[in-house]
Amino acid sequence: MSDEKDNCDKPAAEPTAAGGFVPIWIFILTLVLLFFGTVYFDRHSGWFDKQVYAPFQSAEGLAMYQPKSGEAAMIAHGKAVYESVCGTCHGSDGLGKPDQVPPLAGSEWVSKDIPSLVRVPQTGLNGPIKVAGKDWNLAMAPMGAGLSDADLAGVLTYIRQSWGNRSSAVSADDVKAARAAISGNAPSADELAKMTPVERGHAVFRKYGCFQCHGQDGKGGVSNFNAKTAEQVPSLIYVADGYNKAELMAFISRGERVIPRKNPEGPEPPHFMPKWGPIINTNELSDIADFLFSLKPKGDNLGF
């Protein structure tokens, strides 16, 4: 009895914990699951917007597919045309390129009266201009000359209401009226029909402002700093030595964005060949090729 009593009086031993290690693979698995969970959330959650669900990933993406009408439709269309024709130089943010292309964001030219605004893309620019308080000396091809009235109106409306700009919309009728006032001396359809291909090509050369970079009649270009072609936009009088007609039409259509540099370590030349394919139609391409071939002096074969 005494032994049993002594055993009952002894306090129970305190539990103890032994040291141990958590397998490293648990940490790795946790991190992997957390990573993929975050990616899945980012792509499929719509960030708690109950109107966004698969296959859409954001409210912005969903908005792109919503039916639009009126001014909203014009701006959406204008943005698409802008990114195709204008965005390469002026940027998707409208900020342009330092010392090469002026900005459209905050530009006083964007808010000018509609005829003055239409004139810039319709006829291009060549020479000094002040934009947002800074002087620029540049040549800009008339990238809007080949756009329809509706397309150019959409682009200008998009520009006037983006990147902090707040100006009224531009209608297709506004563009049509401005173009009529600007191009009073342009050949009529009947006059063009009576011309030879070379004469029509010369009219196309003037219409799209090619002379603003390549010089009158294509015989001398404007300065193009650090360009391998003697730091100027090249003359066109010997293109017949470098291309056949199909090759020349293809080159004009696709353009040349990257211009070889005189100094490989120096800056990118500011002027390049635009992609004219979406702007100039096939008949105009054919005529301008005939005109350019006609520039070669008879009997010369000096190489391109």
Q: Model-level pTM?
A: 0.60
Q: How far apart are the first and last CA of the chain?
A: 122
Tens digit of each residue's pLDDT (9 = 90 or more) over 37-85: 777 766 665 555 555 555 555 656 656 556 566 778 888 889 999 998 8
DSSP 8-state code for residue 35:
H
Look over the chain and give the mean of its residue pLDDT values, rounded to a whole number. 83
Helices H, strands E: what count in the chain?
13, 2
DSSP 8-state code for residue 34:
H
Q: Give the model's pLDDT for residue 67.
A: 57
SS3 assignment, position 210: coil
Q: How many CB atoms lie within 10 A of CB 78?
A: 27
DSSP letter for each residue of 140-200: E--TTTTS-HHHHHHHHHHHHTSTT-------HHHHHHHHHHH-TTSPPHHHHHHS-HHHH
Residue 225 has pLDDT above 90, yes or no: no
Q: How many CB atoms lie within 10 A of CB 178?
A: 23
C-alpha torsion sign, points 18, 24, 27, 29: negative
Instruction: Determine the Cα–Cα distance for residues 75 and 197; give it in Å rounded to an integer.
Output: 38
CA proximity to 269, closest of 302, 301, 225:
225
Q: What are residue 12's phi and psi, to 5 degrees?
A: -70, 145
Tens digit of each residue's pLDDT (9 = 90 or more) over 107-150: 999 999 999 999 999 888 877 888 988 888 877 878 888 888 99
Q: Are 170 and 150 in contact (CB under 8 A)?
A: no
Would you give the distance in Å from CA 48 to the centre of its chain?
A: 33
